[in-house]
Amino acid sequence: MCIAIPGKVKAIVDENTATIDMGGVCRDINMALMGGADESMIGKHFLVHVGYAISEISEEESEETMRLLKIMAGLEEIDSFESESH
């Protein structure tokens, strides 16, 4: 199984690299699969897998995916999830 982590572009490093914040951890990510990196990407959300941005996603999808990953890792309580389903 492969897991892609959602993140938000914070800065452009060069034509193929952007700094992406993934839950408070910032990494320089290769944007070649997205057609390269440019200033218009700042603030946008992407799924990141093994150092590459593989898909642009909405802010809502990014936040929900990160929330679910934190629940699976035991870093966030499930109470909020359970109360939504009742």
- Please give the average per-residue pLDDT across 59-78, as a whole number: 88
pLDDT of 83 > 60? The answer is no
Choose the weakest-confidence range: 23-27, 57-61, 66-70, 71-75: 71-75
**pLDDT for position 78:** 65
Q: Which residues sit opposite 48 in a β-bridge?
A: 5, 53
Domains of the chain: 5-85 (2.30.30.140)
Structure pTM? 0.83
Amino acid occupying residue 67:
R
Is the pLDDT at 80 greater than 60? The verdict is: no
pLDDT in tens, 39-55: 999 999 999 999 999 99
